[in-house]
């Protein structure tokens, strides 16, 4: 309780300082809009539906693309972990493409799919899939061999071994990789939305870009706040449960809370 | 050193667009060794040109003090003036009026705003003059339009994309500016539904700080601009050629002479500008929700 | 995993190791881990393998389990050639090989779930029975990391016993436990063995432990891994690890062990 | 050697397939330019200097911004690790801002700094600093307490403790965090360059964007290849030595190579 | 870190623990780890602390080291109040507390580098000397993870000895080692102690180990942590851990240890 209060006080003080800085008149209103204006913008955009609409558009793209990326990456990663040759070929390709910021796919995606949802999904998938492949591969390779041997003596083989031993045993790595994939997907989607217009719907990135077009920094900051909130929420909903499961089961890194 | 640079260099922005004809012609002259502006600004004053492809980023550049004077559309100027509560932006002269229009697909049956329910209308850029005009026109016709949607979808799309999307019928209408109006007509068979003959298209804007610090210099710049405009009006053929050359040489944009000539007929090139025109822009911007409150426009237009 | 019967060698021989050799080639060196090892384990017998580090005890156990394939020689279980791991010969490993993503009960169930001949209810009952046997019925849903070292090895024991294997192969199961816990487990394992009459092969390098537990103690010598000598332990059961009765055997075997070390060094 | 050959054969085959796909005529040259065209573009751009110039501009931005981000993040992270209150305030802020794709800072950076290097550096720093803070904080908190106690009995205190015990002990976490910071910085810089024009120099992102503007997919793909190569090289030069040091010293995860 | 002298309690008392109590308050429970513990350790004495898990052995050692502050009571070293850790009383921990980012030599140098009174050359010589003493001169530049458990604890011993402390506090230093390695280290530590005449407090829960090493064995009982009894071990040195001479003391102390456990349970 006390800690929450301290954190709250800190953020309130931060906003207070910000307001004071604006009032001091040292910065023009375009450079630094008052937090009140930001709140006003957020309120208005909430009421006229823009905020919810565009958040929904963005989230839909992100989730569909991400799930597709994971579903493609997971089996590929397991596959590459099984063979040295696949590791040297597909694995090397994944390693290379993972370093490519996936916003770089936008121009190709646009000529391949047009200014449509598919282009956005492609970009999100390119952000997710390589991280998932690499993490799954690495995870499956890092499993203490003793698990596999114990499972074998008990008669676990084939599919059973993969789904009941290899996959759960590599969970700690998987979650890390899936988190990274999420972070990259989120980043690439934002960049893509800011960069290009999509005929089928405007997302948060577009809203942010429009804030810039109007020189409306209150809108820019407002949308940034919404993006942060969605990011935190996603983390809380998508990954925290897994991480808590991992930490309680593996007994690792239990942070004093 | 910074003060020195400020007093001896004028940083001027413009778009690589036929509606910024004064800048194109001046730069074409410079390539021929005739320094139209610096000759008229006095000894030791240099002009540096910067190219932007969007009004808001030109305005950003003024806020960030990386630009002193720029050719820009009236709406970004108005918007930037309002956002900075009148502290940063001054309109010092007119440049080009007219040249923008709403083009619809041939035989689409689209005639009035209400027909656009559920349709896609492209504009060159979010919040620019044509974008606001399109939205205001739709809102005035009773449609609900938000930044990201509403009854009709206003779709900020770059001009080249507009053309291809219009050709492939993914767009129902386009509200844009020359030379694209002409290209949409000639290359995609588009029909003009609304034409804004007298609406301001391009103005000359100065940073308020630059203006108050270098009033004489700005004044000389504006009169050079007026003189140039006069020259263009008197030598349309040569001006068109110079503008085409400049687009070709500096921006690798190839424009057919007929296209330029056709666009020319829709543009009214003039150094005059009045506050009244901005008032109607403000009304439009307020209608479409791009502007909150009613900013005081008294300091916006300032002819030095 | 087992081929058709082969003519028997010894009437009640549960496990027969015949002239098994194994060599490992790593980047740095070639190690002859086992060199012509032969050993017969009778049904219901408790055999302890002892020897200095690296003499091939774990390798021999793995070959018996079918986890490692010998270069030459063969292993027969119930007269059938061992060609891979089988549920009849479960291994209990040195380090904790419990699965951290399952709780204690889930770990014991793992092997049982692979037995198609049992209903889900039977499996649960068996798992609970064995958790009770090792005294951990209260820790049924404990996570692996919440268990102490001794409790972990108890769960591992229950997991190994639950699918009812005929042979239990144990690789230094108590090596990482503290003395008090270990003493407790010596009692437990002896009781369980006396009741269930499993055949057990137990690897250790603690002489006292081997004497306390084994019917026979097989002493191995390193480089190359061979059987140096075999001691029959004729002491009544259950035996107490701290009992002075063990002293005589212990010092004899310890002396022999030191000898194998010296030989290995002088070679 | 054999493994290298296999990998090489794989990538050569991949390019061969690509060329075949182009030849089949199923896709227009705009959708899928021949690998030969891509190579031609790369060669031409290499000869006329565009490629090296823009790579240099991008790398300079990235390196300066990244180093600044690390230098800011490291002490801040150590600081937050020392106090529960700082953790609850600065730490929480870092956590929130880390989820914000740093391309979202571009509009603010542009009005604050203009279309200059500073704006780009700001975006890169925003990409780096939060990851470094979080990793340093977490690393310093995860150190086995026994190290600190052993050091204390030997008389290590104050600065000595921080520089000789806490920092090296948290190295494994630090390297992870710095890698993540790098990945985010790299992504945000690319997105920013693609998104806005910077007056002081054209980077790889601009080159890619111009490829799109010219509908020159050979240029787009060529620049993407360069970006991948730079990413891999950076990984090799910046992080591999540290990781090798870590793995050899800590004895962790030694991958068969 | 040491206050001005306080009138001495015993002429040659190196460490005096006076009526020390310590209580831990965790989220779940309050534990009285130590309750009025007093103990005097003479100069050059080898004292072993023994007792069941959780009886407060480590806590007492930490308080002697100055790493933990007692709730009441005090500790005197050489007649001076202990107020914090000091180089005169080095601790060697149970788990390997070697720094993985330094090699063996770097670890031994760590404490030496904090001694301003030595030149760099002297430090190097001392570090090499102690690495030689524990028989690891060849592994000077080995990484920590490349060392076996026994080698690690040898490096830890060298690291603890190198800054020349007068008191060595050892918390189950050999607990995680295998029997053979341990036996070797019993010899080593006895030799080192006999040569250097350090004062040593050695925590263990292995009775035989305590009897083999200690001049005195202090038996502690848990909840609350107290000293139950003290045994003087009058055996000649060096002692062999496997020697039957230890048997008598071992069984007496083991019986007493079992008693403390029973009492703790019945309470
Ligand atoms: N997979 C392997 N690759 C290479 N060498 C191996 C492998 N497994 C074992 N060895 C080597 O074979 C020899 C015997 O190993 P093994 O593990 O059977 O010994 P052990 O008697 O069980 O030793 P310990 O008591 O230390 O467990 C050792 O020298 C070891 O280094
Ligand atoms: N930091 C702490 N916080 C809470 N409780 C503690 C803490 N340190 C020790 N304890 C508790 O104090 C008691 C004594 O602990 P201590 O570590 O001294 O026992 P020990 O005799 O060394 O046990 P072991 O033989 O297992 O090492 C235990 O019940 C332990 O749980
Ligand atoms: Mg072994
Ligand atoms: Mg302890």
DSSP string, B45-89: -EEEEEE-SSHHHHHHHHHTTS-SEEEE-HHHHHHHHHHTTTSSE
- The answer, yes or no, to whether any atom of ligand 1 lies below 6 A from the CB of C205, is yes
Phi and psi dihedrals of C73, rounded to 5? 85, 180
Q: What per-residue confidence (pLDDT) applies to B1?
A: 36
| D217 in any annotated domain | yes
Phi and psi dihedrals of E21, rounded to 5? -125, 150
- Within this chain, do residues A27 and A66 fall inside the same structural domain, yes or no? no
Write the Ramachandran bin of B196: left for phi over 0, alpha for psi from -120 to 50, otherwise beta. beta
> Closest Cα of chain A to B15: distance in Å?
16
| D182 in any annotated domain | yes
- Within this chain, do residues D158 and D143 fall inside the same structural domain, yes or no? yes
Asked which of C133-137, D101-105, E218-222 is least confident by mean pLDDT, the reply is C133-137
d(Cα E22, Cα E225) in Å, to the nearest integer? 9
List the shell of residues around ion ligand 4, using CB closer than 5 Å.
Answer: E 58
Mean pLDDT rounded to a whole number for chain B: 85
- Tens digit of each residue's pLDDT (9 = 90 or more) over C201-252: 999 988 889 999 999 999 999 888 899 999 999 999 889 888 888 888 998 9
C100 neighbors A250 (Cβ within 8 angstroms): yes
Q: What per-residue confidence (pLDDT) applies to E265?
A: 54
Average pLDDT, integer, range C102-115: 92
- Within this chain, do residues C111 and C123 fall inside the same structural domain, yes or no? yes
> Closest Cα of chain D to A76: distance in Å?
16
- Within this chain, do residues D6 and D66 fall inside the same structural domain, yes or no? no
Token pair for C70: 């010998």
CB proximity under 8 Å: D 33-72 to A: none
Cross-strand pairs, B11: B48
Average pLDDT, integer, range C13-27: 89
Residue B5: band (very low, low, confident or very high) from pLDDT cuts 50, 70, 90: very low
CB proximity under 8 Å: D 107-146 to E: 144, 146
- The answer, yes or no, to whether any atom of ligand 2 lies below 6 A from the CB of E66, is no
Question: Least CA distance to A197: which residue of chain B?
Answer: B157
Tokens 């690998």 belong to: D35
- Within this chain, do residues E117 and E77 fall inside the same structural domain, yes or no? no
Token pair for A71: 């579903």
- Within this chain, do residues C122 and C35 fall inside the same structural domain, yes or no? no
C28 pLDDT exceeds 90?
Answer: no
Which protein residue has the closest C-alpha to ligand 1 atom 3?
Answer: C24
Cross-strand pairs, E89: E167
Q: What per-residue confidence (pLDDT) applies to A253?
A: 54
Phi and psi dihedrals of C69, rounded to 5? -100, 130
- Within this chain, do residues E101 and E125 fall inside the same structural domain, yes or no? yes
B157 touches chain A (CB under 8 A): yes
Q: What per-residue confidence (pLDDT) applies to E8?
A: 39
> Closest Cα of chain D to E216: distance in Å?
25
Residue D257: band (very low, low, confident or very high) from pLDDT cuts 50, 70, 90: very low
Q: What per-residue confidence (pLDDT) applies to C211?
A: 93
Mean pLDDT rounded to a whole number for chain A: 88
- Within this chain, do residues D5 and D108 fall inside the same structural domain, yes or no? no
User: Which numbered ligand comes closest to the C-alpha of C50?
Assistant: 1
Q: What per-residue confidence (pLDDT) applies to B3?
A: 44
Residue B18: band (very low, low, confident or very high) from pLDDT cuts 50, 70, 90: confident
Whether E and B touch, i.e. at least 3 CB pairs below 8 A, reads as: no
- Within this chain, do residues E113 and E17 fall inside the same structural domain, yes or no? no
- Look up the CATH number of the domain holding residue C10: 3.40.50.300
Of E137, E164, E191, the one marking the end of a domain is: E164
Q: What per-residue confidence (pLDDT) applies to C86?
A: 83
C11 pLDDT exceeds 70?
Answer: no
- The answer, yes or no, to whether any atom of ligand 2 lies below 6 A from the CB of E89, is no
Residue C146: band (very low, low, confident or very high) from pLDDT cuts 50, 70, 90: confident
pTM of the model: 0.82
Question: Least CA distance to D195: which residue of chain B?
Answer: B57
CB contact under 8 A, E101 and D169: yes
- Within this chain, do residues C43 and C173 fall inside the same structural domain, yes or no? yes
Q: Give A126's Cβ-side CA count (13 Å radius).
A: 21
What is the end-to-end Cα distance of chain C in Å, rounded?
40
- Within this chain, do residues E27 and E127 fall inside the same structural domain, yes or no? no
- Within this chain, do residues D177 and D62 fall inside the same structural domain, yes or no? yes
A41 pLDDT exceeds 60?
Answer: yes
- Look up the CATH number of the domain holding residue A174: 1.10.3720.10
Which protein residue has the closest C-alpha to ligand 2 atom 18?
Answer: E56
A192 neighbors D194 (Cβ within 8 angstroms): no
Most confident stretch, B151-165, C145-159, E153-167: E153-167
- Tens digit of each residue's pLDDT (9 = 90 or more) over D155-179: 888 888 888 998 899 888 888 888 8
> Closest Cα of chain E to C179: distance in Å?
7
Chain E neighbors of C53, CB-CB under 8 A: 178, 180
- Tens digit of each residue's pLDDT (9 = 90 or more) over B195-223: 887 788 899 999 988 888 888 888 889 98
Of A28, A136, A31, A32, nearest to A90 by C-alpha is A136
Residue E225 CA: nearest ligand 2 atom is 14
Asked which of B56-60, C191-195, E30-34 is least confident by mean pLDDT, the reply is B56-60
- Tens digit of each residue's pLDDT (9 = 90 or more) over B91-141: 988 888 888 899 998 888 888 888 888 888 998 888 888 888 899 899 888
D109 touches chain B (CB under 8 A): no
- Within this chain, do residues E51 and E116 fall inside the same structural domain, yes or no? no
Q: What per-residue confidence (pLDDT) applies to A22?
A: 87
> Closest Cα of chain E to D174: distance in Å?
14
Select the residue from A139, A147, A155 to test the C interface by mutation, using most C Cβ atoms within 10 A: A155
Strand order in the sheet with C80-81: C30-42, C13-25, C72-77, C80-81
- Within this chain, do residues D245 and D162 fall inside the same structural domain, yes or no? yes
| A255 in any annotated domain | no
Q: Which range marks the domain in which residue C225 is found?
A: 1-88+166-267
Q: What per-residue confidence (pLDDT) applies to D256?
A: 35
Residue E36: band (very low, low, confident or very high) from pLDDT cuts 50, 70, 90: very high
Most confident stretch, B258-267, D126-135, D144-153: D126-135
Pick from A45, A53, A210: CB nearest B126: A210
A43 touches chain B (CB under 8 A): no
Distance (angstroms) between ligand 2 centre and the Cα of A244 equals 26
- Within this chain, do residues C70 and C113 fall inside the same structural domain, yes or no? no
- Within this chain, do residues D91 and D187 fall inside the same structural domain, yes or no? yes
Of C164, C182, C212, the one marking the end of a domain is: C164
Q: Structural domain tally of chain A?
A: 2
| D13 in any annotated domain | yes
- Within this chain, do residues A23 and A42 fall inside the same structural domain, yes or no? no
Pick from A10, A209, A228: CB nearest D97: A228
| A209 in any annotated domain | yes
Question: Least CA distance to A143: which residue of chain C?
Answer: C99
Pairs across B and D, CB distance < 8 A: 28
Residue E159: band (very low, low, confident or very high) from pLDDT cuts 50, 70, 90: very high
For chain C, percent of residues with pLDDT exceeding 70: 91
Q: What share of chain D is helix, strand, coil (3-state, %, to 5)?
A: 80, 0, 20
Q: How many CB atoms lie within 10 A of CB A106?
A: 26
What is the end-to-end Cα distance of chain D in Å, rounded?
11
Average pLDDT, integer, range D113-120: 87
Of C116, C148, C164, the one marking the end of a domain is: C164
For chain D, percent of residues with pLDDT exceeding 70: 97
Cross-strand pairs, E30: E25
Pick from D153, D168, D248: CB nearest E90: D153
A198 pLDDT exceeds 90?
Answer: no
| A257 in any annotated domain | no
| D53 in any annotated domain | yes
D253 pLDDT exceeds 70?
Answer: no
- Within this chain, do residues A46 and A129 fall inside the same structural domain, yes or no? yes
- The answer, yes or no, to whether any atom of ligand 1 lies below 6 A from the CB of C93, is no
- Tens digit of each residue's pLDDT (9 = 90 or more) over E96-135: 789 999 999 999 999 999 888 999 999 999 999 999 988 8
CB proximity under 8 Å: A 103-122 to D: 103-108, 110-112
Q: What per-residue confidence (pLDDT) applies to A42?
A: 93
C6 pLDDT exceeds 60?
Answer: no
Residue E10: band (very low, low, confident or very high) from pLDDT cuts 50, 70, 90: very low
Q: Which range marks the domain in which residue D25 is found?
A: 1-32
- Within this chain, do residues C127 and C184 fall inside the same structural domain, yes or no? no
Q: Which residues, 6 or more positions from D244, have their beta carbon under 8 angstroms from its beta carbon? A: none
- Within this chain, do residues A25 and A109 fall inside the same structural domain, yes or no? no
CB contact under 8 A, D111 and B63: yes
For residue B171, the 8-state DSSP code is -
Q: Structural domain tally of chain C?
A: 2
Residue A204: band (very low, low, confident or very high) from pLDDT cuts 50, 70, 90: very high
CB proximity under 8 Å: C 195-214 to E: 205-206
Chain B neighbors of D113, CB-CB under 8 A: 64
| D256 in any annotated domain | no
User: Which numbered ligand comes closest to the C-alpha of C27?
Assistant: 1
A199 touches chain B (CB under 8 A): yes
Q: Which residues, 6 or more positions from B39, have their beta carbon under 8 angstroms from its beta carbon? A: none
Tokens 């006003």 belong to: A40
- Within this chain, do residues C172 and C160 fall inside the same structural domain, yes or no? no
Residue E264: band (very low, low, confident or very high) from pLDDT cuts 50, 70, 90: low
- Within this chain, do residues D52 and D153 fall inside the same structural domain, yes or no? yes
For chain B, percent of residues with pLDDT exceeding 70: 97
- Three-state SS string across chain C, please? CECCCCCCCCCCEEEEEEEEEEEEECCCCEEEEEEEEEEEEECCCEEEEECCCCCCHHHHHHHHHCCCCCCEEEEEECCEEECCCCCCEEEECCCCCCCCCCEHHHHHHHHHHCCCCCCHHHHHHHHHHHHHHCCCHHHCCCEHHHCCHHHHHHHHHHHHHCCCCCEEEEECCCCCCCHHHHHHHHHHHHHHHHHHCCEEEEEECCHHHHHHHCCEEEEEECCCCEEEEEEECCCCCCCCCCCCCHHHHHHHHHHHHHHHHHHHHHC
- Within this chain, do residues D162 and D102 fall inside the same structural domain, yes or no? yes
E79 neighbors E5 (Cβ within 8 angstroms): yes
CB contact under 8 A, D154 and E90: yes
């Amino acid at each position: 309780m006390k800690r929450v209060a301290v954190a709250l006080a800190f953020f309130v003080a931060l906003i207070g300082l910000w307001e004071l800085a604006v009032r001091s008149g040292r910065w023009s209103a375009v450079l630094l809009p008052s937090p009140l204006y930001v709140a006003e913008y957020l309120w208005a955009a909430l009421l006229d539906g823009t905020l919810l609409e565009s958040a929904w558009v963005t989230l839909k793209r992100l989730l569909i693309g991400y799930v597709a990326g994971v579903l493609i990456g997971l089996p590929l990663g397991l596959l590459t972990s099984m063979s040295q040759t696949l590791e040297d070929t597909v694995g090397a390709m994944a390693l290379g493409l993972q370093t490519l910021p996936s916003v770089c796919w936008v121009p190709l995606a646009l000529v391949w799919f047009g200014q449509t949802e598919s282009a956005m999904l492609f970009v999100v998938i390119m952000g997710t899939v390589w991280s998932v492949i690499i993490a799954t591969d690495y995870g499956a390779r890092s499993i203490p061999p003793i698990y596999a041997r114990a499972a074998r003596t008990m008669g676990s083989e084939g599919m059973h071994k993969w789904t009941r031993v290899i996959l759960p045993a590599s969970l700690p790595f998987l979650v890390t990789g899936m988190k990274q994939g999420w972070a990259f997907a989120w980043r690439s989607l934002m960049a893509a939305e800011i960069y290009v217009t999509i005929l089928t719907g405007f997302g948060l990135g577009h809203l942010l870009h429009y804030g810039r077009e109007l020189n409306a920094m209150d809108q820019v900051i407002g949308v940034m706040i919404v993006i942060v909130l969605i990011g935190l929420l996603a983390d809380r909903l998508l990954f925290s449960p897994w991480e808590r499961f991992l930490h309680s089961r593996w007994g690792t890194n239990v942070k004093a809370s | 050193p910074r003060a020195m640079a400020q007093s001896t260099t004028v940083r001027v922005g413009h778009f690589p667009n036929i509606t910024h004809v004064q800048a194109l012609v001046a730069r074409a002259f410079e390539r021929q060794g005739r320094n139209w502006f610096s000759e008229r600004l006095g000894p030791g004053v240099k002009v540096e040109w910067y190219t932007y492809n969007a009004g808001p980023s030109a305005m950003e550049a003024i806020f960030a003090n990386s630009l002193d004077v720029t050719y820009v559309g009236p709406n970004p100027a108005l918007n930037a003036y309002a956002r900075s509560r009148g502290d940063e932006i001054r309109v010092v002269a007119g440049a080009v009026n007219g040249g923008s229009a709403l083009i619809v697909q041939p035989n689409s049956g689209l005639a009035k705003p209400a027909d656009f329910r559920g349709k896609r209308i492209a504009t060159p850029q979010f919040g620019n003059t044509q974008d606001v005009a399109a939205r205001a026109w739709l809102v005035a016709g009773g449609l609900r339009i938000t930044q990201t949607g509403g009854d009709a979808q206003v779709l900020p799309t770059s001009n080249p994309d507009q053309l291809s999307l219009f050709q492939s019928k993914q767009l129902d209408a386009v509200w844009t500016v020359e030379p694209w109006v002409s290209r949409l007509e000639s290359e995609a068979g588009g029909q003009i539904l609304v034409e804004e003959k007298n609406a301001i298209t391009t103005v000359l804007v100065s940073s308020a700080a630059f203006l108050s610090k270098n009033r004489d210099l700005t004044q000389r710049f504006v009169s050079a601009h007026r003189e140039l405009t006069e020259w263009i009006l008197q030598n349309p053929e040569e001006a068109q050629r110079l503008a085409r050359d400049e687009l070709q040489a500096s921006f690798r944009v190839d424009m057919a002479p007929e296209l330029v000539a056709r666009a020319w007929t829709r543009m009214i090139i003039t150094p005059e500008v009045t506050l009244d025109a901005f008032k109607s822009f403000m009304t439009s911007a307020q209608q479409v929700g791009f502007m909150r409150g009613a900013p005081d426009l008294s300091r916006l237009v300032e002819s030095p | 995993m087992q081929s058709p019967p082969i003519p028997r060698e010894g009437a009640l021989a549960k496990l027969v190791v015949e002239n098994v050799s194994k060599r490992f080639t790593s980047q740095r060196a070639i190690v002859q881990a086992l060199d012509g090892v032969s050993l017969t384990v009778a049904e219901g017998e408790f055999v302890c393998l002892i020897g200095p580090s690296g003499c091939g005890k774990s390798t021999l156990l793995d070959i018996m389990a079918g986890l490692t394939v010998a270069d030459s020689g063969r292993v027969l279980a119930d007269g059938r050639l061992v060609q891979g791991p089988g549920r009849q010969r479960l291994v209990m490993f040195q380090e904790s090989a419990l699965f951290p993503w399952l709780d204690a009960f889930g770990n014991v169930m793992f092997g049982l779930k692979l037995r198609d001949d049992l209903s889900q209810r039977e499996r649960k009952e068996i798992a609970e029975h064995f958790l009770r046997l090792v005294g951990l019925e209260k820790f049924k849903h404990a996570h692996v990391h919440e268990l102490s070292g001794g409790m972990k090895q108890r769960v591992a024991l229950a997991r190994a016993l639950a699918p009812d294997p005929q042979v239990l192969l144990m690789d230094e199961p108590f090596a990482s436990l503290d003395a008090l816990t270990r003493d407790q487990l010596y009692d437990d394992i002896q009781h369980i063995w006396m009741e269930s009459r499993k055949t057990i092969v137990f690897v250790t390098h603690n002489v006292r432990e081997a004497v306390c537990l084994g019917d026979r103690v097989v002493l191995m010598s390193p480089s190359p891994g061979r059987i140096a000598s075999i001691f029959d332990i004729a002491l009544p059961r259950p035996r107490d690890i701290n009992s002075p009765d063990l002293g005589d055997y212990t010092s004899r075997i310890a002396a022999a062990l030191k000898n194998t070390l010296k030989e290995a060094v002088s070679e």
